[in-house]
Structure 1
Amino acid sequence: MSGSVLPGISGYNPHNLQPWTVEVVTSVTALATVAVGLRLLSRHIKAQKLWWDDYMIIFSLAWNFIVVGLIFGMYSAGMGIHADKVPLDDIVRMAKLLVAAEIFYAFNLVWTKLSVLLMYYRVFRFPLFKNMAYGIGAFVIAWVITITFLFIFICVPVEKLWYPDLPGHCIDQVGTWIANAASTILSDIAILVLPIPQVWKLQLRKPEKIGVTFAFCLGFFVVFASAYRFSVLFSYSNGDPTYTLAPTVGWTAIEMSAGIVSACLPTLGPVFAVCATKLGIKRTLLTTRGERTNNTGSSKNFAGQSGTASMRDGADLELQKAMKASGGAGFYRLPDSQMSGDTTRAPDAELRPKHGYGYTVTSHPGKGDGESLSGDEVPLHGIRVHTDFKQSTG
């Protein structure tokens, strides 16, 4: 739409951002939906039941759809067109929809972050690591409660946000967005960095550690999206709210979808394995040492050392069998919640999945190899691998 006296934004169409908004929002939302679908397909391939982290990312995708619906509502009200070409009633309607979209957007980010933290919880059982995950989770929950009140009561009375001439007062809207973006970036970095030190403590070869680290670091794209969205916030102008809001909204959709995709990437090993098999690729960087040892007949144990007294041959063989059965996605296999025997459960057994082959790295400070172990634990040089052999030996 031409003829506006208001200036455009550098790097964007100077007259109409509606086509750009539709293309961006539609494409990234489709990408997030595909990522969640592939995650569910991975669960189906490995015959694993869904757990809380899976349900949480599905919930996050549902809230993403709600935000997208609100974005298209703003689109129909004239978002992307210069304000001097949009009726006042439509500008008011867009402002109301924006408040709702901001709230749903904040909660979408929280559901995604909690999904990642729950995934960490089912993989790593180091007490310090779990406490750090709890701390970050508490922070993001406190953050979303705070930011929700800020978004709702940015103006007092609330109606002053879309009727500026009403008596009352408002805090700086862009300043609120900046504070929200800074907190989001900080928590994203903390969540993404959290597992990396633990990965490098695992009994894996260096290339395997690099591969696992790379899988987790793929999530840093969401940090880039959040950072770029942060820079776009400064292009917003109260003098032309309908047009200048479009880039911020577009990058909001990118940030939400990038978070969902990043949360799903570490779970897609089974899908990648099937694709690799179809392409004739037999080995990957993340093939577990136990599987390679079993295939080559080497006398080396899972820890990569031969003749070690801390790994009994029978337990080593069972571990290799269980790992091979789990499909090679070594850093994301899930243990049975049953500990030793049929009636003894771990303190957190009710929270943990009751399915799947796998191992989860655990730490038991103060216990040596000579002390008694529960029925499904094998000592690995001070790091214990929690395994489930019940189905693999059947």
Structure 2
Amino acid sequence: MSAFTPEQLAYLQAHRDDSRVHEIYGVYCVPIALATISTTLRVWAKTAGRNGVTLDDWLIIAATVCLVGQCASGLGFGPPHGMGRHVIASEPYDLMMVRKGDYVFSHFYDIALVMVKLSILAFYYRIFALPIFRKFVVATAAFVIAWGIGITVTLALACRPIAAFWDSNVAGDCLELVTFTYFTNISNLCTDIWIFVMPWPVIWHLRMQTKRKVLLCFIFSIGLATCVVSSVRLTVVLGHGNPDFTWYYVPLGAYSAFEPLGGLLCANLPIIFHMWRKRRNILTDSFRFKTQPSSTATPNSGGSRRSRIARSLGLSNNSQSLGDSQARTIIGDEESGWHQETQEQRAEQSQRAQFFDKVEKSHTISVDVAPSENSSRREPLFSSSSAGIQLPPRAAEGMKKNVWEVRRQR
């Protein structure tokens, strides 16, 4: 306890029974629940949307596993061994276990950050087909991988022998953890800013309204909120060097858990929201078409109806900057892959579909326009009934009208 001044020792003795254990359970259980639920919903949404599980999904799954492992190590090595209480209230063995838990926790933290970044970059590479942009994505991914390997190896060899990291009775040469943590945080913050602003130039050159460009830039920049967490984490980095580390590890561990969680949620929630909206539109459109059956079919009528269904599902055309169907996972555009139909357009399409359905029902059946030579009396061409239009009793040779002639006359 020689690291404390007499005033500090007096303060610790006066607050010996203080506890932050309830904070630890809260800040570690919440990320486990949110990460697991959001990733599960993401995988379900991709499967339900028939887009399949791709590389960015597997990387998010790996990030979720690392985040769960990070929080589980904090819970397992923390409160049972005195974390959340002042250091003078813990036994030497418990202090060793807290340091060992910090070693495991830090490895999970670094790997989780790398996996989240790589998942976002893999998503960019898949939906943006611009060659120059993909080169920037690949270069950034290479930097992130090198950064992750560097900090992981450095942390693994932080002390020689490594047991000196958690056991104060082992003599060894150790890295300055405060300096290393500052470097990790600052480099991580710069990388996050770069990754989240990368799509802006590509989006700004799309052929769409300016307000939609601004909206898309905002959607892709939601992840900048994690940069705020990284910035706040810098203010509590000194907890790594504080002698009362069992107390000051609590805010540092909380920000370390919520930082990768923020990136993970920013990658998952837009996909979950869009796929939920897409499935809701599918159900709505299916119900609308089922309630308006057509008794007969005309040439190309099936094609026109399939076209209407395709347009209603947002499957018509892709943007020139998108690579495959997953481009519609974030934004479901009808004309350029980014545009969402307005309510007025939907109402207009519905009225047009109802009009043509009535025309098809009335005129697709051939109608007699000239009486037969052998007919001794004139018969009515049409007979009305509650069931609709019916055929004449006998059809004669002559010209026939169909739905296409009616449409041309109109």
Indicate the residue corresponding to 1:325 in structure 2: 313
Q: Could you state the TM-score of these two structures normalised by the residue count of structure 2?
A: 0.65
Aligned residue for 2:52, secondary structure, equals coil
For the residues of structure 2 that align with 1:331 and 1:16, how far apart are their CA atoms?
A: 56
- What amino acid maps onto 1:325 in structure 2? L
1:58 to 58, 61, 68: 61
For the residues of structure 1 that align with 2:10 and 2:266, how far apart are their CA atoms?
A: 38
Matched, 1:187 2:191: yes
Matched, 1:248 2:257: no
Indicate the residue corresponding to 1:149 in structure 2: 153
Matched, 1:15 2:18: yes
Indicate the residue corresponding to 2:236 in structure 1: 232
Indicate the residue corresponding to 1:47 in structure 2: 50
Seen in structure 2, the aligned counterparts of structure 1 residues 332 and 63 have a Cα distance that, compared at 3 Å, is: farther
Seen in structure 2, the aligned counterparts of structure 1 residues 38 and 332 have a Cα distance that, compared at 3 Å, is: farther
2:261 to 257, 261, 282: 257
Indicate the residue corresponding to 2:178 in structure 1: 174
Cα deviation per residue 1:299-342 (whole Å; 9 max; x = unaligned)?
xxxxxxxxxxxxxxxxxxx9997564347997899755xxxxxx
Contact 1:216–1:266, Cα closer than 8 Å, also in 2 = no
Aligned residue for 1:47, secondary structure, equals coil
Matched, 1:81 2:85: yes
1:102-113 equivalences in 2 (<5 Å): 102-113=106-117
Aligned residue for 1:239, secondary structure, equals coil
Seen in structure 2, the aligned counterparts of structure 1 residues 328 and 20 have a Cα distance that, compared at 3 Å, is: farther
Indicate the residue corresponding to 2:164 in structure 1: 160
Seen in structure 2, the aligned counterparts of structure 1 residues 188 and 330 have a Cα distance that, compared at 3 Å, is: farther
Contact 2:196–2:224, Cα closer than 8 Å, also in 1 = yes
Seen in structure 2, the aligned counterparts of structure 1 residues 323 and 109 have a Cα distance that, compared at 3 Å, is: farther
Matched, 1:129 2:117: no
Seen in structure 2, the aligned counterparts of structure 1 residues 156 and 356 have a Cα distance that, compared at 3 Å, is: closer
- Count of residue correspondences: 301
Cα deviation per residue 1:157-195 (whole Å; 9 max; x = unaligned)?
222222335433222111111111111111111110111
Deviation of 1:234 after TM superposition, in Å, equals 2.4
Deviation of 1:206 after TM superposition, in Å, equals 1.4
Q: Which has the larger radius of gyration?
A: 2
138-147 vs 230-239, greater mean Cα deviation: 230-239
Seen in structure 2, the aligned counterparts of structure 1 residues 202 and 55 have a Cα distance that, compared at 3 Å, is: same
Indicate the residue corresponding to 1:31 in structure 2: 34
For the residues of structure 1 that align with 2:223 and 2:321, how far apart are their CA atoms?
A: 19
Contact 1:15–1:81, Cα closer than 8 Å, also in 2 = yes
Contact 1:7–1:14, Cα closer than 8 Å, also in 2 = no
Contact 2:130–2:321, Cα closer than 8 Å, also in 1 = no
- What amino acid maps onto 1:98 in structure 2? D
Seen in structure 2, the aligned counterparts of structure 1 residues 68 and 51 have a Cα distance that, compared at 3 Å, is: same
Cα deviation per residue 1:237-286 (whole Å; 9 max; x = unaligned)?
441121111111111111121111011233234345269869x9xxxxxx
Deviation of 1:84 after TM superposition, in Å, equals 0.6
Contact 1:53–1:114, Cα closer than 8 Å, also in 2 = yes
Seen in structure 2, the aligned counterparts of structure 1 residues 67 and 197 have a Cα distance that, compared at 3 Å, is: same
For the residues of structure 2 that align with 1:196 and 1:68, how far apart are their CA atoms?
A: 34
Instruction: Kindly indicate whether structure 1 or structure 2 has the higher relative contact order, using CA contacts under 8 Å at least 6 residues apart.
Output: 1
Seen in structure 2, the aligned counterparts of structure 1 residues 228 and 14 have a Cα distance that, compared at 3 Å, is: farther
Percent identity among equivalent residues?
A: 26
Contact 1:35–1:264, Cα closer than 8 Å, also in 2 = yes
Matched, 1:70 2:70: no
For the residues of structure 2 that align with 1:263 and 1:359, how far apart are their CA atoms?
A: 11
Indicate the residue corresponding to 1:213 in structure 2: 217
110-119 vs 318-327, greater mean Cα deviation: 318-327
For the residues of structure 1 that align with 2:187 and 2:167, how far apart are their CA atoms?
A: 29
For the residues of structure 1 that align with 2:233 and 2:275, how far apart are their CA atoms?
A: 31
Contact 2:274–2:329, Cα closer than 8 Å, also in 1 = no
Cα deviation per residue 1:126-175 (whole Å; 9 max; x = unaligned)?
12111111111111111111111221222222222223354332221111
Aligned residue for 2:212, secondary structure, equals helix
Contact 2:38–2:268, Cα closer than 8 Å, also in 1 = yes
- What amino acid maps onto 2:104 in structure 1? A
Indicate the residue corresponding to 1:284 in structure 2: none
Seen in structure 2, the aligned counterparts of structure 1 residues 180 and 323 have a Cα distance that, compared at 3 Å, is: farther
24-33 vs 171-180, greater mean Cα deviation: 24-33
For the residues of structure 2 that align with 1:15 and 1:275, how far apart are their CA atoms?
A: 51
For the residues of structure 2 that align with 1:331 and 1:229, how far apart are their CA atoms?
A: 39
Q: Which runs of 5+ in 2 are unaligned?
A: 1-7, 285-305, 331-335, 337-410
For the residues of structure 2 that align with 1:332 and 1:68, how far apart are their CA atoms?
A: 42
- What amino acid maps onto 2:229 in structure 1? A
